[in-house]
Structure 1
Amino acid sequence: MKKWIASFALWVTGWKVELEGDVNNLDRCVLVVAPHTSNWEFVLGILAYWKLQKPLKIIIKDAHTKAWYGAIVRKLGGIGINRSQRNNLVQFVTDLYQKQSFSLVVTPEGTRSRVNKWRMGFYHIALSAQVPIVLGAGDFKEKKIYIGKSISITDLQNRPLESIMTEIQEYYTHITPKYPDQWNPQIF
C-alpha cells in the first residue's frame, strides 16, 4: 500500500526517484541527506523509501515523538532523542543496528539554516555500526530525488576522512536545494 501511495504522490507532484546504486544498500546504512533547507526533504525521503519498499529510521527531537502526533512520527520511523542530555548516540544507534536492519536518515547540517560545517556523527555511526554511508538528495530544480551512491565500510576504514568528505562534498555540487541561500556547499 505504501509503495502505491508514494508512487502516486510522486507522480502527481512531478517528482522522480533516481536510484544511483544497488537498492539493497538501502537495507542497512547511514543515509546522509543534504542539502537540508526545508522540511520537504523529509516528506520526499519518506515517499522515496516507501516507493522502494525499504526500512527507514530518523533521529529527531523527542518532543516530536512525545507530542499528540508522536504515534504517527514513530510509525514513520522517528526515534526521539533528548538533545538537552548527553547521550552516547553512536553506541545507541550501533546497538539498534545489532537488533534490526534499516536506513538511518541523518541530516549532518543539523538544522535547516545555513551552517559553516557539517556535524560528523553520521561518519562515526557508520564506522561503529559497520554499515556504509549512502548519499541522498532532493533536487528542487530538477524535481528528482537522488539516492543510492554508497561509500562502503571498507572505504570508511581505509581512506582518510578528508578524502571521504571531499567525495561527499563533490556529490552535492549539482544539487539545487529548496532554499539555496540556506545551503553552504563547503561541508568541512
Structure 2
Amino acid sequence: MTRTFARLFLRLSGWQPEGNAPTCKRYVLIASPHTSNWDLAYMLAIASVLRVKIHWMGKHTLFRFPLGWLMRSVGGIAIDRRAQHGVVKQVADRLKEADELVMVVPPEGTRRASKYWKSGFYHIAREAQVPVVCGFLDYRRKRGGFGPAIELSGNVRADMDRFREFYAPIQGKFPQKATPPRLREEE
C-alpha cells in the first residue's frame, strides 16, 4: 500500500496514526484486539504511513495462483503448517536470519471471543530472541499505531501483565468479540 493511498484511506475513514515507528529492526508485532475484517486494512495503512514494512503469516495455499503475487506484495509469507518443523520454528528462524523483519502475529488467532490468546507470538519471540511490539487499533478513538517493545523475561505471568496494562484501554470494532490478554500457560 503506498503512503499516499494509505493517508487518503485513513483520512476518509476518520482514522489517525498515533505515535512513532519502533526503533528495533527485528520484532514480533502483535495486533490486538482483532475483532473485524477491517483490522488488516487499517493496520496496513497505519504501518505504511509510519514507514513500517510489516509481514504476516498465511497458509501456504493462499499464495498460489491467482492471488499469490498480491499476498506477497502486501507482506504475506507462506507458512506450511504440515511441515516437519512447526510454525513457531519456521517464523523464529526467519526472524533470526533477517537483518530487518517485522512479523505480525494476531494473538487472538480469530475474530471471535475466546478465553485465551494463542501463545505462538510469545514462543516465536522467545525462540528468535526478539521483542514483542504492541500494535493496536482503538476503534473508539479511531487511532492506531505501535506501543512499547516488550523484551520477554520468560516469566509468562509477569510478561502478560505488561500486555494487559497496555491493552486495557484499547477497544476493538466489536468489543464483545475481544479476547482478554491471557495465555493458558499462566494457569
Encode CA deviations 1:141-174: one digit per residue, 9 max, x unaligned: 110003131102xxx13x5110111110221111
Whether the aligned pair in 2 keeps the contact of 1:138 and 1:144 (CA below 8 Å) is: yes
Whether the aligned pair in 2 keeps the contact of 1:114 and 1:184 (CA below 8 Å) is: yes
What is the CA-CA distance between 1:121 and the residue it aligns to? 1.1
2:15 alignment counterpart: 15
1:124 counterpart = 2:123: yes
**TM-score, normalising length: structure 2:** 0.88
Whether the aligned pair in 1 keeps the contact of 2:30 and 2:135 (CA below 8 Å) is: yes
1:164 counterpart = 2:162: no
- Which residue identity is paired with 1:3? R
- Identify the match of residue 177 of structure 1 among 166, 172, 176: 172
What is the CA-CA distance between 1:12 and the residue it aligns to? 1.7
2:144 alignment counterpart: 145
Whether the aligned pair in 1 keeps the contact of 2:21 and 2:52 (CA below 8 Å) is: no
Structure 1 gaps of 5+ residues are: none
Whether the aligned pair in 2 keeps the contact of 1:55 and 1:101 (CA below 8 Å) is: no
RMSD over aligned Cα, in angstroms?
2.0
The 2-side partners of 1:69 and 1:168 are apart by: 35
The 1-side partners of 2:42 and 2:69 are apart by: 20
- Which residue identity is paired with 1:179? F
Q: Secondary structure at the match of 1:131?
A: coil
Report sequence identity in percent. Answer: 32
1:76 alignment counterpart: 74
Q: Residues 108 and 86 of structure 1: is their aligned pair in 2 closer, same or farther, counting only changes over 3 Å?
A: farther
The 2-side partners of 1:146 and 1:68 are apart by: 32
- Which residue identity is paired with 1:113? R
What is the CA-CA distance between 1:129 and the residue it aligns to? 1.2
Matched residue pairs, number? 182
Whether the aligned pair in 2 keeps the contact of 1:54 and 1:102 (CA below 8 Å) is: no
Whether the aligned pair in 2 keeps the contact of 1:116 and 1:186 (CA below 8 Å) is: no
The 2-side partners of 1:62 and 1:175 are apart by: 32
1:3 alignment counterpart: 3
Encode CA deviations 1:49-91: one digit per residue, 9 max, x unaligned: 1112222110122232225222111111111223356642222
Which stretch of structure 1 is more off in the superposition, 85-94 or 118-127? 85-94
Q: Residues 66 and 2 of structure 1: is their aligned pair in 2 closer, same or farther, counting only changes over 3 Å?
A: same
Q: Which structure: greater helix fraction?
A: 1
